[in-house]
Amino acid sequence: MSKRHAATIAARAGIAKDPAFSAVTPPLYLTSTYELTAFKQPGQYDYSRSNNPTRDLLAETLAELEGGAKAIVTSTGMSACLLALQLLTPDDTLVIPHDCYGGSYRLFTNLAQRKKAFKLLVVNFQQVGWQSQISAVKPKMIWLETPSNPLLQITDVRAVCSLASSLQALVVVDNTFLSPVLQQPLALGADIVVHSTTKYINGHSDIVGGVLVCKTQQLGDELKWWANCLGVTGAPFDSYMTLRGLRTLEPRIRLQQDNTARVVEFLTKQPLVAKTYYPGLADHPGHAIAAAQQTGFGAMCSFDLAADAALLPVFFSALNIFTLAQSLGGIESLICHPGSMTHASMDAEAQKTAGIGPTLIRLSVGIENVNDLITDLQQAFNAVSQAIAQGGDQQNTSRSQQKNEQHQQQFRLNPALGAFW
């Protein structure tokens, strides 16, 4: 059979493959264990931490979508990241981008500094000289996130993979922001793809999950062994939900992307927007690379509000459709303030280095009618204009900001609260 398109692979995930009753939609195997065929003769499955038919269907589909030899479905995106790090020893160096997802940054820095699990080099891939910085440390693994969270910076995956192969380093790409519909890192030379399947892959904000897709069977087998050993494999129910969401991945992401293009056009003309971050804009520094390595610019965008940060509560509370919440990639439009939410685990200095300013706002654009989305944003901008005209309720807003900052500080300083975002 010729190679199938992503839309077909996703829509047919597990369809008409039920060996028991020919069910069109595959059943959910909630069992934790499986009967042996006879003493010392296990069947195909023996225990669901190791293998489960529902989870296997999801893994096979994701491996096919990313063009990999093997996929391992995990309980969360973070457990997928943790799993990939099992390939490192304390003498190895991991290179990470300075502007990755805050939770990944927290994992990398804490494992390196507090556990000495590996050595760490934080690199700005947008700055001249990244090649020599990386070559100097001879890393075992280079981690990429492109487009990056939350500034949508683009890294040239082919260029990094070419350097990595000369250094015999592995390249891991977090493809959460695009999904295999819009970018396939393994085809660009990467060794492992990571997803928080919580996001576009599932697409309905009703589970958390992750996956690692490996280019080679050998890497896949090693990481699958670690997944069972550590117990980080995904739950069967979550796999079932993710399979259901995955079937509409292609049409969802196309519509979300179309809506985003319109929202971005609106934002670029909005006087209360200081800067819009979207790789689809011709003046975005990564535009040409994004056009070369992606098949679309995606459905995430960010912008700096051109107003005092004290007015952020006015903006957020005026919204009726965009929901102020963590996460992204669901069919519903979400809005977030990276500095105090998704990237709160980065300290102020790291946020500054990553370019995350106090009035940066990130949008995950959904499938709602785009005119309604624009109207919603417009009336929130109007509310800010009005507050500026009236001098703003400075006392209230700065009090709520102070409370928020204390809350963030607690999560940064207390590593025991590490499950936060």
Ligand X SMILES: Cc1ncc(COP(=O)(O)O)c(C=O)c1O
Q: Which residues are catalytic?
A: 49, 101, 174, 199
Residue closer to ligand X, measured from CB, 241 or 318: 241
Residue closer to ligand X, measured from CB, 301 or 311: 301
Residue closer to ligand X, measured from CB, 79 or 259: 79
Nearest to 340 by CA among 274, 407, 418: 407
Residue 407's CB: how many other CB atoms inside 10 A?
A: 11
Binding-residue pattern over the window 158 to 187 for ligand X, x denoting contact by CB under 6 A: ----------------x-x-----------
Instruction: Please report the beta strands in 153-281, taking only residues with DSSP state E, as ranges in sequence order.
Output: 170-174, 192-196, 210-214, 273-277
CB of 381 to ligand X, least distance (A): 26
| H-only helix segments in 284-393 | 287-293, 312-318, 348-354, 370-389
Residue with tokens 């520094």: 285
Residue 359 contacts residue 338 (beta carbons within 8 Å): no
DSSP annotation of 38:
B
CB of 330 to ligand X, least distance (A): 12
According to CB under 6 A, which one of 14, 180, 210, 338 is a site residue for ligand X?
210
Residue 242 is a binding residue for ligand X (CB under 6 A): no
CB of 70 to ligand X, least distance (A): 20
Residue 298 is a binding residue for ligand X (CB under 6 A): no
Q: Pick the stretch among 74-82, 241-249, 309-317, 362-370 that binds ligand X (CB under 6 A).
A: 74-82
Residue closer to ligand X, measured from CB, 56 or 145: 145
Beta partners for residue 300, in sequence order: 364
According to CB under 6 A, which one of 54, 61, 149, 408 is a site residue for ligand X?
149
CA–CA separation, 112 and 118 (whole Å): 5
Residue 269's CB: how many other CB atoms inside 10 A?
A: 8
Beta partners for residue 196, in sequence order: 210
According to CB under 6 A, which one of 196, 233, 302, 397 is a site residue for ligand X?
196
Q: Pick the stretch among 72-80, 157-165, 220-228, 301-309 that binds ligand X (CB under 6 A).
A: 72-80
Q: Pick the stretch among 7-15, 101-109, 232-240, 390-398 that binds ligand X (CB under 6 A).
A: 101-109
Sheet containing strand 170-174, edge to edge, reads 70-74, 210-214, 192-196, 170-174, 141-145, 93-97, 119-123
Residue 103 is a binding residue for ligand X (CB under 6 A): yes
Residue 302 is a binding residue for ligand X (CB under 6 A): no
Residue 14 is a binding residue for ligand X (CB under 6 A): no
Q: What tokens appear for 328 in the block?
A: 């992204």
Residue closer to ligand X, measured from CB, 103 or 366: 103
Residue 69 contacts residue 220 (beta carbons within 8 Å): yes
Residue closer to ligand X, measured from CB, 71 or 208: 208
CB of 199 to ligand X, least distance (A): 6
User: What backbone torsions phi and psi does residue 81 show, to the nearest 5 degrees?
Assistant: -60, -50
CB of 250 to ligand X, least distance (A): 20
Residue 76 is a binding residue for ligand X (CB under 6 A): yes
- 26 preceded by cis ω (within 30°)? no
Residue 390's CB: how many other CB atoms inside 10 A?
A: 8
Residue 153 is a binding residue for ligand X (CB under 6 A): no
The full DSSP string for 133-150 is HHHHH--SEEEEESS-TT
Q: Pick the stretch among 36-44, 71-79, 239-247, 357-365 that binds ligand X (CB under 6 A).
A: 71-79
The binding site for ligand X (CB under 6 A) comprises: 76-78, 101, 103-104, 145, 149, 174, 176, 196, 198, 208, 210
